Amino acid sequence: MNDNIQLYENQPIRSAWDEEKEEWYFSVVDVVGILTEQETYDGAKNYWKVLKHRIKAEGNQLVTNCNQLKMKSPKDGKKYLTDVADTEQLLRIIQSVPSPKAEPFKMWLAEVGRERIEETIDPELAIDRALDTYLKKGYSEDWIHQRILSIRVRNELTAEWQSRGVEKGKEYAILTDEITRAWSGMTTRQYKKLKGLKKENLRDNMSTTEIILNMLAETATKDISAQTKPETFEESRAVAKRGGKIAGNARRELEEETGTSVITEKNAAELNAVVTGMIEAVVNDKKED
């Protein structure tokens, strides 16, 4: 299953897509928390615990037979088993929650399912929707195009890792750390700390130059792996270091030419503020002319 974060009115809902069953699974706690407007994650968990007991007492096995999947906790970022529900189960749960958001949420749920099916038929729609999401968040079009390209590069790399027997999750994270350390001089965690990030995606908070160098590192790793065909995880780890080193050399040469560091402490909010300021300045200049 592929982990995802869906957004409902800018509130995150942890979810997973089952390729075989072509079905979404949603974190019940996240949905209940939104519908009942709980202020804390623990509050949402307690509400669901009581509601689940009540539904079970009513004899409804459809809901009480919810699956559990490991998902990142919004509290500490670690993965724990949490109740998840498919669309049918979630609709039944929503009926048991007195909330003015119930009907709008049902419409959103149907839209999410429809969009996923459409994207399976026409993958370009996923790109279009990603473009629209980033635009709404205030990113520049140039940055967005680089970011979308970086997603493609990342997918090509993980496909190569998968073909070499690298396991998703921990092993992907270790190899990613090796690549990041080799080109930036920091682990992923250290890089995020520099930018003041916690749960946010690091790539979403990179400058255009940072994204390009990260893409170079991942592309080089993928190409080297395809040529050398590593058979063990440790061999793939060595390849990750080699790929990252290529981008690291490029970073150092660029910094020598410009006299400034490529790595920036600025996160998305700060980077977008700079871009917005530049755009406003240009607009004001044109008005004065």
Reported as a single tens digit per residue, the pLDDT across 174-190 is 999 999 999 999 999 99
Whether residues 241 and 166 share a domain: the answer is: yes
Reported as a single tens digit per residue, the pLDDT across 197-247 is 877 788 888 988 999 999 999 999 999 999 999 999 999 999 999 999 999
Is the confidence at residue 276, as pLDDT, over 60?
no
pLDDT of residue 47: 92
- Residue pair 179/166 in contact (Cβ under 8 Å)? The answer is no
Side chain identity, residue 9? E
The residues with which 82 forms a beta bridge, in sequence order, are 69
Distance CA 174, CA 179 (A): 9
Looking up tokens 């940055």 gives: 143
- Residue pair 205/197 in contact (Cβ under 8 Å)? The answer is yes
Distance CA 198, CA 201 (A): 9
Reported as a single tens digit per residue, the pLDDT across 68-110 is 898 888 888 888 899 998 887 888 888 888 888 888 888 777 7
Distance CA 187, CA 240 (A): 13
Q: Determine, yes or no, domain membership for 128.
A: no
Whether residues 168 and 226 share a domain: the answer is: yes
Angle (CA) 199-202-205 rounded to 5° is 105
Whether residues 9 and 56 share a domain: the answer is: yes
Whether residues 272 and 152 share a domain: the answer is: yes
Whether residues 80 and 114 share a domain: the answer is: yes
User: Would you tell me how many other CB atoms lie within 10 Å of the CB of residue 245?
Assistant: 18
Structural domain for 53, as ranges: 2-121
Domain count, the chain: 2
Strand, coil or helix: 278: helix
Structure-token pair, residue 288: 């004065």
Whether residues 162 and 265 share a domain: the answer is: yes
Whether residues 71 and 162 share a domain: the answer is: no
pLDDT of residue 272: 64
Is the confidence at residue 281, as pLDDT, over 70?
no
- Residue pair 199/192 in contact (Cβ under 8 Å)? The answer is no
Alpha-carbon separation of residue 192 from 121, 151, 202, 203, 205 (angstroms)? 35, 18, 6, 10, 9
Whether residues 158 and 90 share a domain: the answer is: no
Alpha-carbon separation of residue 147 from 144, 198, 215 (angstroms)? 5, 20, 9
Whether residues 277 and 148 share a domain: the answer is: yes
Average of per-residue pLDDT across 118-137: 58
User: What pTM does this model have?
Assistant: 0.55
Whether residues 104 and 156 share a domain: the answer is: no
- Residue pair 213/183 in contact (Cβ under 8 Å)? The answer is yes
pLDDT of residue 63: 66
Whether residues 8 and 59 share a domain: the answer is: yes
Reported as a single tens digit per residue, the pLDDT across 22-61 is 678 899 999 999 999 998 999 999 999 998 888 888 776 6
